[in-house]
Chain A
C-alpha cells in the first residue's frame, strides 16, 4: 500500500502541470453531484427541444381542416422520426462495435449499397418488377438482400482479427465509390422510361418522404429495437474494444454479428424512406457523445435519437415554414455533418 501511495505522489510531482490539471478537475469534482446529473439534464433539455420541434412541425401555419393537416403532417412526422431514430441508433452502435468515432455506415457506403440493389433490380428484372410488385414486399426483399450483402462485408471487415482504422476508412470509401459507380453505370444503360421510374423511387428526401413504406418500416424498426434492447448491456462493454469485450466474457462474434445485422436493417429503413444521407449519422452521434460527456449507451443512444429528431423535424419546420425553402435541409445537414467529419479527421491526425 505504502509503495503505491509513494508512486502516486511520484506521478503528481513528476509532471508539475498534471498537478494543476488534477486540482482543476477535482474542484470540478467537488461539484461532482451536478456533474453526475449532466447526462440527465442534457436528455431533459433535448427531450423538451424535440417535443417543441414536433409541436411546431404539426401546428405551424396549419390552414383548413385539422384532421387533414394532422394526418398529412403526422405521416411526414412519423417518417422523419423513424429516419432520425434509425440513423442515430445505427450510427452509434456501428461506431461502438467498430471502436471508432469517425466511420459511420453511410461513410462506409452502405446506403449506396441500397441504391445499388434497387438499381440492379430494375436493370436485371425490368421496370415492371418495380411497378408491379407491391412496394412493401419489394422493401422486405431488398432488406434481406441488403442484410445479406452487408453482413458478408461487415463480417469480413470486423469479425476477423483487428484491422487498422485507416484500412477500414479506405475500404469504406472504395466500396462506396464502387457501389455508386456501379449504380450509375446501370442507370445509364437503362432506357429513359425505366430510369425515370427508378429515379422517382430513389429521389426521396426529407421534404418528400416515401409514405407507402411507413407501416412496414415502423414494424421493422420496432422489431429491431426490441432485439437491440435485449443486447443493451453489451454495448458499453463492446465500446472497450474487442480484447476487453472478450476478456469480460462477451460472446464477441455472435453479439457483434447480431448488432451489425441490426445496423444494416436500420440503414435500409432510413435509406428507403429518405434516400442516402452521408453525414447525418456522424453529426448526431458526435454531438450526442460530446454533450453527454461519457460513453454510457443508456444516455448516448437516446441523446443521439433526440438530436436526430430535433435536426430533422425542427430543421424541416424552420426551412419549410419560416424560410419557405423546400429541399435545403439535407444540404444543410450534410454541410454541418461534413464539417464535423473534417474536424474529427484533423483532430485525429493532430494527435
Chain B
C-alpha cells in the first residue's frame, strides 16, 4: 500500500500539490486523472522520490520514501516518466539489463539474465533486443522502457503518462500489457492518464485530481459518472455504457 500523508509541493507562489493524503490500494491498476496542471505528475514524482516534497510524507509498504536508502526502494517501487531523454547510446538488451542494477550493481548473474530475457519476451522485444534505441519507433522505445521497469521486478510500478506518443493500437497494447502484469505478476500499477476512457476501461481504481488536491477517488463505477467527471473537468461529459464498460463522450 502506498500512503501519502498531507504532501505538498510549491514552486514559488503557486502550489502544485496541496496537502494530498491518499492511500493507494495494493494490486490492480490505479489511474490518476485530472485536468492539466492538477498536479498528477508532481504527485507521482514525489511518491517515487524523484522530487522532494515541501511537506508531508510518503510510505510504500511502511517504508518512508525520503528516508529509505535508494537501492532498497528500487527493489520495491519503479517509476517511468514520460520524457526519457538520454544521451547514452544503448541497445534494447542493455537498457533492460539496467533493470537488474538494484540487485546486482552491474554484475549480472544467471538469475538476472533470466529476468532480463523474461522481460524482453514479455514485451515481445526479442527480435529487437540487439537494436539500438535510437533505431526504434516511438512505440518500440516505450515498450523497451517498460521492459526495463518490469525487469526491475518491483511490487509497485509507477508510470507517468505511458500512453503519450502512442497510437491507438499501441496504447491499447500497452494497457493490456499492464493489466496482464497486474493480474499475472501481481504488480500494483499506478499511472497518470489523460484519456478518461482508457482509465475507465482498464483500471480498477481511479483517483481524480484538481487544483493540487484529490477531487474524488474510488472504483471505476463510482468515478465514471457525468456529475463527477463534469465537476472535475468543468465541462459537460456524458457517460454511456457500451459493451459493459463506461465510455465518456465529451466532444462537440
For A98, the closest partner residue in chain B by CB is B87
Q: With A161-B51, A247-B79, A248-B101 known to touch, is A241 a contact of B173 (CB < 8 Å)?
A: no
Q: B35 in the interface, Cβ–Cβ < 8 Å?
A: no
| A3 contacts B70, C-beta separation under 8 Å | no
Taking CB atoms, residues of chain A closer than 8 Å to B80 are 247
- What 1/0 flags go to A241-255 for Cβ under 8 Å of B? 111101111111000
Tell which of A55-63, A205-213, A217-225, A231-239 binds the partner: A231-239
Q: B236 in the interface, Cβ–Cβ < 8 Å?
A: no
Taking CB atoms, residues of chain B closer than 8 Å to A236 are 88, 98, 106
Q: B139 in the interface, Cβ–Cβ < 8 Å?
A: yes
Taking CB atoms, residues of chain A closer than 8 Å to B248 are none
| B123 contacts A248, C-beta separation under 8 Å | no
Of the listed residues A5, A8, A236, the one surrounded by the most CB atoms of chain B closer than 10 A to its CB is A8
| B124 contacts A249, C-beta separation under 8 Å | no
> Whole-angstrom distance between the alpha carbons of A295 and B86 in the complex?
11
> Whole-angstrom distance between the alpha carbons of A6 and B177 in the complex?
13
| A10 contacts B79, C-beta separation under 8 Å | no
- What 1/0 flags go to B143-166 for Cβ under 8 Å of A? 100000100100000000000000
User: Interface size bucket, A side?
Assistant: 35 or more
User: Shortest beta-carbon distance, A235 to chain B, in Å?
Assistant: 9
For A15, the closest partner residue in chain B by CB is B137
Q: With A11-B170, A32-B130, A252-B70 known to touch, is A100 a contact of B137 (CB < 8 Å)?
A: no
> Whole-angstrom distance between the alpha carbons of A29 and B126 in the complex?
13
| B91 contacts A249, C-beta separation under 8 Å | no
| A249 contacts B71, C-beta separation under 8 Å | yes
> Whole-angstrom distance between the alpha carbons of A1 and B121 in the complex?
9
User: Shortest beta-carbon distance, A90 to chain B, in Å?
Assistant: 17
Taking CB atoms, residues of chain B closer than 8 Å to A296 are 94
> Whole-angstrom distance between the alpha carbons of A194 and B89 in the complex?
50
For A28, the closest partner residue in chain B by CB is B130
Q: A75 in the interface, Cβ–Cβ < 8 Å?
A: no
> Whole-angstrom distance between the alpha carbons of A158 and B73 in the complex?
23
Q: With A248-B101, A248-B102, A251-B69 known to touch, is A10 a contact of B85 (CB < 8 Å)?
A: no
| A25 contacts B135, C-beta separation under 8 Å | yes
A1-30 CB contacts (< 8 Å) to partner B: 1, 3-8, 10-11, 14-15, 18, 21, 25, 29
Apart from A241-B85, A246-B48: 13 A-B pairs, beta carbons within 8 A: A5-B124, A7-B169, A10-B169, A11-B140, A18-B137, A29-B131, A233-B105, A247-B50, A247-B78, A248-B102, A249-B69, A249-B73, A294-B94
CB<8 Å pairs between A and B, sample of 5 = A7-B124, A29-B131, A239-B87, A243-B50, A295-B90
Q: A residues engaging B (CB < 8 A)?
A: 1, 3-8, 10-11, 14-15, 18, 21, 25, 29, 32, 95, 99-101, 161, 233, 236-237, 239-244, 246-252, 289, 293-296
